[in-house]
């Protein structure tokens, strides 16, 4: 008797998702609770577990299809896996499911799978495209995703490290051969259409709504990172030994933001209709890089947390984002956002707020620049540009500048973070 595989509850107010990837193929043996498919919601990717052990039957939904909560996407057949799928059912042995004319094609497909190493490993569509594009063997690449699966970063890093990309010979039809000549010196003019993921569609929609609704403005300042860098250098080993996590820059900026938000509460507020909602707590949304794009999990009650708590939370978010195990609850809420484009080499940017929040702090790369000191001398100092994008309907220029000055003061003199000044 077959058991239905249904789309699980996706979270509050989420009624549908997009099938992003099949992790198991028809005929594969599956264990109870083993992931068999990946769903993409507006914010996170979720895995669909097998309701019981058995053999995965036919896929009832294709990759890219939209499915609702409770929809049946596959069935689990009782039995021992691939051996059963090969034809142990007496009824199925007398009634072939495929027309006889497909027998030869099946043999050709099997041969092609042998020639194509990417077909023997479960890969997402994006990863499979990269593997075939570079002509690499995915079995030789160490996967860093969930359950050891390959990510785009894994393939790109493998190629970057010097892996050769041999030309792949494939026939366009049976018996036909394609010359293995290199492309023309001018390059090719190929085009590829790829459907936007649900996450990317949601990001695009929300950012456009922010531009259409909020009166966006960005104010800049710069900060001397000397004191913070010296503090990290002096205490990083002791900090890691005691707390089991590295002392990063984000802990300093998160704590500095908490102080600044206390002094300038409108930056931590939001507009709700004709009312302004002020928060006496600080829930900081932190932009984290994930395989499918940036996500913004929330550090809740950051004003009550220690440096170690902040760094541990951010480290956990980063790991779970990479594994695809962040939940809807991790993303919900947030009163203020910090986005660190500096890790990608950004010198300066104008970040867009994350509605319904009213402001976002953008951090950028640290570089040595000449600075005129109070005594008139010129020194090379490690400087960083700060950018505060905000909703001018709620936050005035004076408040935006004051907020950035508070951040600057706390970073250039970290003692302020200890004495709440």
pLDDT digits (tens, 9 = 90+) for 365-387: 999 999 999 999 999 999 999 99
Q: What is the pLDDT of residue 163?
A: 53
Distances (CA, A) of 201 to 15, 17, 46, 408: 16, 12, 17, 36
Q: Which of 89, 108, 392, 413 is catalytic?
A: 392
Annotation marks residue 272 as catalytic = no
Number of Cβ within 10 Å of residue 187's Cβ equals 7
φ and ψ at residue 286, rounded to 5 degrees: -115, 125
Q: Are 6 and 73 in contact (CB under 8 A)?
A: yes
By mean pLDDT, which of 5-19, 85-99, 217-231, 270-284 is the weakest?
A: 85-99
Residue 38 CB: number of other CB atoms within 10 A? Answer: 21
CATH topology of domain 120-195: Dihydrolipoamide Transferase (4.10.320)
- pLDDT band at residue 146 under the 50/70/90 scheme: low
**Per-residue pLDDT at 310 exceeds 60:** yes
Average model confidence (pLDDT) for the chain? 80
Asked if the model's pLDDT at residue 150 lies above 90, the reply is: no
Averaged pLDDT, 291-319: 88
Residue 52 has pLDDT above 50, yes or no: yes
∠ CA 400-403-407, rounded to 5°: 140
Q: Write down the catalytic residue from 147, 396, 413, 420.
A: 396
Pick the CATH number of 203-419 from 3.10.310.30, 3.30.43.10, 3.30.559.10, 1.10.1060.10: 3.30.559.10
The model's confidence at residue 64, banded by pLDDT at 50, 70 and 90, is confident
Q: Confirm whether 59 is a catalytic residue.
A: no
Q: Tell me which of 17-21, 80-84, 139-143 is least confident.
A: 80-84
Whole-number pLDDT of residue 113: 42
Domain boundaries, the chain: 3-97, 120-195, 203-419
Instruction: Judge whether residue 172 has pLDDT over 60.
Output: no
* Rounded Cα distance, 58 and 92, in Å: 14
Q: Answer whether residue 359 shows pLDDT above 60.
A: yes
Separation CA 120–CA 113 (nearest Å):
7
How far is Cα 47 from Cα 21, in angstroms, rounded to an integer? 9
- Is residue 250 predicted with pLDDT exceeding 70? yes
Q: What is the pLDDT of residue 298?
A: 94
C-alpha 298, offset from chain centre: 14
Question: Mean pLDDT, to the nearest integer, of 21-32?
Answer: 86
Distances (CA, A) of 265 to 6, 133, 352: 45, 51, 19
d(CA 257, CA 357): 15
Residues 76 and 54: their CA atoms lie apart, in Å, by: 6
Partnered with residue 49 across adjacent β-strands are: 35
Give, for 20, the enclosing helix (H) or strand (E): strand 16-22
**Which of the four CATH numbers 3.40.50.2300, 2.30.130.10, 2.40.50.100, 3.30.70.2200 does domain 3-97 have?**
2.40.50.100
Q: What percent of the chain has pLDDT over 70?
A: 78
- What tens digit of pLDDT does each residue of 254-293 get? 999 999 999 999 999 999 999 999 999 999 999 887 766 6
């Amino acid at each position: 008797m077959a058991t239905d595989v249904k789309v699980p509850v996706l979270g509050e107010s989420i009624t549908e998702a997009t099938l992003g990837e099949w992790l198991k193929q028809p005929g594969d043996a599956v264990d109870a609770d083993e992931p068999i498919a990946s769903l993409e919601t507006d914010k996170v990717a979720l895995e669909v577990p097998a309701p019981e052990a058995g053999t995965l039957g036919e896929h009832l939904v294709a990759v890219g299809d939209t499915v609702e909560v409770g929809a049946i996407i596959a069935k689990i057949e009782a039995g021992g896996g691939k051996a059963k799928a090969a034809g142990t059912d007496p009824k199925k042995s007398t009634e072939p499911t495929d027309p006889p004319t497909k027998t030869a094609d099946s043999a050709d497909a099997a041969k092609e799978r042998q020639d194509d190493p990417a077909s023997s490993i479960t890969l997402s569509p994006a990863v499979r495209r990269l593997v075939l594009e570079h002509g690499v063997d995915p079995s030789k690449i160490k996967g860093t995703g969930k359950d050891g699966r390959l990510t785009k970063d894994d393939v790109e890093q493998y190629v970057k490290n010097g892996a050769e990309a041999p030309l792949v010979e494939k026939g366009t039809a049976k018996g036909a051969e394609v010359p293995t000549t290199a492309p023309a010196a001018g390059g090719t003019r190929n085009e590829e259409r790829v459907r936007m993921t649900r996450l990317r569609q949601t990001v695009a929609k929300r950012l456009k709504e922010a531009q259409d609704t909020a009166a966006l403005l960005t104010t800049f300042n710069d900060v001397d990172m000397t004191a913070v860098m010296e503090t990290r250098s002096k205490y990083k080993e002791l900090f890691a030994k005691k707390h089991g996590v590295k002392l990063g820059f984000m802990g300093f900026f998160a704590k500095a933001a908490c102080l600044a938000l206390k002094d300038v509460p409108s930056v931590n507020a939001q507009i709700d209709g004709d009312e302004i909602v002020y928060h006496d707590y600080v829930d900081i949304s932190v932009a984290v890089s994930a395989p499918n794009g940036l996500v913004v999990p929330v550090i809740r009650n950051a004003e009550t947390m220690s440096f170690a708590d902040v760094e541990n939370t951010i480290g956990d978010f980063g790991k779970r984002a990479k594994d695809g195990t962040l939940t809807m609850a991790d993303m919900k809420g947030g009163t203020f956002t910090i986005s660190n484009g500096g890790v990608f080499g950004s010198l300066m940017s104008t970040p867009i707020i994350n509605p319904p929040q009213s402001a976002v702090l953008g951090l950028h790369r640290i570089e040595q620049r000449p600075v005129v000191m109070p005594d008139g001398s010129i020194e090379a100092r490690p400087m960083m540009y700060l950018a505060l994008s905000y909703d001018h309907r709620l936050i005035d220029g004076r408040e935006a500048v004051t907020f950035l000055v508070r951040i600057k003061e706390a970073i250039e003199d970290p003692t302020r973070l200890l004495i709440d000044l």
